[in-house]
Amino acid sequence: MGHKLVDIMKNNEKSASPLRYVVVHLYNDYSGSPRVLADFCKSESVQSASLSIVTSSSKGFLDDDLGEKINVWYPRGKIRLLNYFSFILAQFQLFCASFFLVLRGWFKGERVVLVNNTILSLGSMLASKCTNTLNICYVHEINSGPRIVRTFAEFLIKWTADHVIFVSQFVADDYNFREKSTTVIPNGLRSDFSGQPMLDYKLKFDQKTILFVGSLKKYKGVSELLEIAKVLPDMRFIGVFNTSKIILEEFTKLKPVPPNLDLLVPQANMQDLYRDAFLVMNLSRPTEWVETFGLTILEGMACGCPCVAPPVGGHLSYFDSDAGLICDAKNTLEIASFVQRLQQDEALWRRYSDYAVGVAKNYSAENYSGNVAKLLKRLIT
């Protein structure tokens, strides 16, 4: 009886302690994983506690005023050996920053929870083990760099994680974490997007603007985008790339860009681009890069855009042939033919559009925030 009373008192003391989340993400940019993490941080469950974010000083989705921010030095360039050295140095910084924040939390009487975003937060995973801190690992990717990185990351997650979040069942099935506590939380639509955008269907169809959003990488299908734009000279293409203006300008000097293709860096009005688009393309090469969720596909669907999507990936949990074309990016003529069919048949285009909007409603920012709240309540209270 006495032991039970002590346990109850300890639990009451624990629940009364202020809560702090220490969220760690190696490289801040405008790609999918920091975008989802930003919405995780914006959720009411996290914002109702104290929040510290450890990430690089580069520009990205984690620049919002979400909470205390600690920057690590993580430069990247064209020389691979220097990038490897930078990666190792950054892991040491992640370890030190996380260790410091946990110790500071202890001195302030806080309960600290570490959230390690992507499999690349290796240093902070190790810090969680050294400090015996609750460690939630958020896994977005299947591969990230050399195979040895994933192998070591899997070992660390198995050794240090108290819980693992996967962005899709597709990703969960690719890892062997059966002995761990795991949850699949599908990504939601961006919290800074309007939940029900006003769509001018006539404008979308008449303008016939095709939108591509992704990284300026070969495996994202950049060459295929150029080829398709050449085949369809009467249609306007917009490519929004997660890169800098300098790199984008260098690319245009090396590659002949069709006059009907506008190349842009990330824009503040991204929802406007989706809202006015006729169609959204995701041209990731399935043999080189597998989409683990395909956020750009979902964002396009939410704005009434039929989509072109790869034949493999986590997006197939919500995307099917009623929402667009499932096709390998190398089949550029098949993709161009599909676009031309839609261009000539407004009723067919509208059927794809309406179906896409209906599916996307199941992936609202509110649903995502609710799923986060349920998980955190189960793990922490």
- Does the structure show a pLDDT above 90 at 349? yes
* Nearest one of 318, 267, 275, 329 to 295, comparing CA atoms: 318
Confidence label for 16 from pLDDT (cuts 50, 70 and 90)? low
Q: For the chain, what is the domain count?
A: 2
Cα dist from 306 to 24, 107, 190, 343, 355, whole Å: 35, 53, 19, 12, 9
Residue 109 resides in a domain: yes
Residue 148 resides in a domain: yes
DSSP of 38-63, one letter per residue? HHHHHSHHHHTSEEEEEEESS-SGGG
Residue 314 resides in a domain: yes
Considering the domain architecture, whether residues 130 and 149 belong to the same structural domain is answered as yes
Total residues belonging to the chain? 381
> What pLDDT is stored for residue 194 in this prediction?
79
- Does the structure show a pLDDT above 50 at 251? yes
Furthest C-alpha separation in the chain: 81
Considering the domain architecture, whether residues 125 and 230 belong to the same structural domain is answered as no
Task: Give 42-78 pLDDT, tens digit per residue.
Answer: 999 999 999 999 999 999 999 878 999 999 999 998 8
Considering the domain architecture, whether residues 157 and 85 belong to the same structural domain is answered as yes
Out of 80-84, 133-137, 310-314, pick the least confident. Answer: 80-84
Task: Give 137-193 pLDDT, tens digit per residue.
Answer: 999 999 877 889 999 999 999 999 999 999 999 999 999 898 899 999 999 999 888
Tell me which residue range forms the domain holding 320. Answer: 201-362
Query: Rg of the chain over CA atoms, in angstroms?
Result: 22
SS3 71: strand
Considering the domain architecture, whether residues 222 and 356 belong to the same structural domain is answered as yes
Residue 281 resides in a domain: yes
Considering the domain architecture, whether residues 141 and 225 belong to the same structural domain is answered as no
Find the helix packing angle between 295-302 and 32-42, rounded to 10°.
60
Dihedral sign, Cα of residue 344, residue 346, residue 347, residue 351: positive
Considering the domain architecture, whether residues 223 and 355 belong to the same structural domain is answered as yes
Considering the domain architecture, whether residues 184 and 321 belong to the same structural domain is answered as no
Residue 48 resides in a domain: yes
The mean pLDDT value of the chain amounts to: 93
Considering the domain architecture, whether residues 261 and 315 belong to the same structural domain is answered as yes
Residue 8 resides in a domain: no
Residue 165 resides in a domain: yes
Considering the domain architecture, whether residues 371 and 316 belong to the same structural domain is answered as no
Considering the domain architecture, whether residues 220 and 356 belong to the same structural domain is answered as yes
Residue 285 resides in a domain: yes
* Nearest one of 352, 324, 350 to 338, comparing CA atoms: 324
Considering the domain architecture, whether residues 49 and 106 belong to the same structural domain is answered as yes
**CATH code, 97:** 3.40.50.2000
Confidence label for 3 from pLDDT (cuts 50, 70 and 90)? very low
- Amino acid 256 reads P
Considering the domain architecture, whether residues 126 and 152 belong to the same structural domain is answered as yes
